[in-house]
């Protein structure tokens, strides 16, 4: 169930029996020679939709801009500053909390969002702790990175081994090829540059990783693999969502 395809009466009826919502969050950033700019948002959204169906959960609108400053030397990338993203997440959560939602399960598609999401959660909890008027003791926020579930990790190891790399991975490109087969790109590419140290700003990143990839071979991607990744992620994450909404 997608929030934007419901009426307000349907949302009200949902809230009579449930307090949970799934929130897909991604990024709009370069993903190497054959990866779509929307990869991280597309993956998070596809998996969130599956989790919504499997767990009977409402899925909120995708936050498809993230913290992508390090990709800004590649055309098409859009970034939110961490402070902006924290504000967006805060307003999103507080808006839905006003209607009675209490359990927010974020399915994240972008490693660069992790620290900002954690900071956003602390800002929201701090607002509750610091003001008796805004206190929301029932509020729970959870971050789940889709690529880290046991079934996804196992599948990635089996299919790609070291060629998975850590940015513009064959796993995430496979998921986008499954979701949008009409946008599959066939591009020849050599070996990717590996990570030798942590990167800093956008120019530094581009110097280290000239075609955008970090240690990956996304030419191994296929829609068939993508279908398996979505299935694996949905299975693991739907189970975690059920525990999250029923836990104390």
- Chain residues that interact with Ni ion, rule: CB under 5 A: 39-40, 172
Instruction: Go through 89-123 and write b for each residue having 16 or more CB atoms within 10 A of its CB, e for each that does not.
Output: beebbeebbeeebbbbbbbbbbbbbeebbeebbee
Please report how close the Cβ of residue 147 comes to Ni ion at its closest, in angstroms: 9
- DSSP assignment string, 54-118: HHT-EEPPPB--B--GGGTTSTT-BB--HHHHHHHHHHHHHHHHHHT--EEEEEE--GGGHHHHH
DSSP alpha helix (H) spans, the chain: 8-15, 39-55, 82-99, 114-130, 150-160, 170-179, 202-208, 223-246
Residue among 139 and 232 whose Cβ is closer to Ni ion: 232
Q: 20-25 and 140-145: which strand pairing?
A: unpaired
Please report how close the Cβ of residue 204 comes to Ni ion at its closest, in angstroms: 19
Please report how close the Cβ of residue 167 comes to Ni ion at its closest, in angstroms: 6
Give the whole-angstrom CA distance, residue 11 versus residue 114: 29
Q: Which tokens sit at 71?
A: 């990709």
Please report how close the Cβ of residue 10 comes to Ni ion at its closest, in angstroms: 33
Residue among 102 and 172 whose Cβ is closer to Ni ion: 172
Hey, is 6 helix, strand or coil? coil
Residue among 172 and 236 whose Cβ is closer to Ni ion: 172
Partners of 144 in the β-ladder: 107
Residue among 102 and 164 whose Cβ is closer to Ni ion: 164
Q: Which tokens sit at 29?
A: 């950033």
Please report how close the Cβ of residue 188 comes to Ni ion at its closest, in angstroms: 21
Please report how close the Cβ of residue 110 comes to Ni ion at its closest, in angstroms: 6
Residue among 101 and 171 whose Cβ is closer to Ni ion: 171
Residue among 26 and 82 whose Cβ is closer to Ni ion: 26
User: By Cβ distance, which residue is nearest to Ni ion?
Assistant: 40
């Amino acid at each position: 169930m997608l929030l934007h395809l419901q009426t307000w009466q349907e949302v009200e009826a949902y809230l009579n029996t449930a307090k949970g919502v799934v929130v897909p969050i991604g990024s709009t950033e370069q993903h190497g020679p054959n990866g779509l700019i929307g990869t991280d948002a597309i993956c998070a959204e596809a998996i969130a939709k599956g989790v919504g169906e499997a767990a009977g959960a409402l899925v909120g609108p995708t936050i498809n801009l993230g913290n992508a400053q390090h990709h800004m030397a590649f055309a098409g990338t859009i970034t939110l500053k961490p402070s902006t993203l924290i504000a967006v997440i805060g307003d999103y959560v507080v808006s839905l909390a006003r209607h009675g939602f209490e359990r927010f399960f974020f399915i994240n598609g972008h490693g660069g969002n992790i620290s900002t999401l954690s900071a956003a959660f602390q800002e929201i909890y701090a607002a509750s702790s610091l003001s008796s008027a805004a206190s929301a003791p029932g509020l729970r926020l959870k971050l789940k990175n889709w690529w880290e579930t046991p079934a996804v990790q196992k599948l990635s190891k089996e299919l790609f081994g070291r060629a998975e790399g850590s940015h513009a991975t064959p796993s995430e490109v496979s998921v986008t090829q499954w979701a949008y087969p009409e946008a599959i790109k066939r591009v020849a590419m050599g070996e990717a540059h590996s990570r030798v140290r942590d990167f800093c700003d956008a120019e530094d990143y581009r110097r280290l990783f000239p075609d955008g990839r970090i240690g990956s071979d996304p030419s191994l991607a296929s829609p068939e693999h993508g279908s398996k990744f979505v299935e694996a992620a949905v299975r693991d994450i739907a189970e975690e969502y059920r525990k999250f909404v029923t836990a104390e």
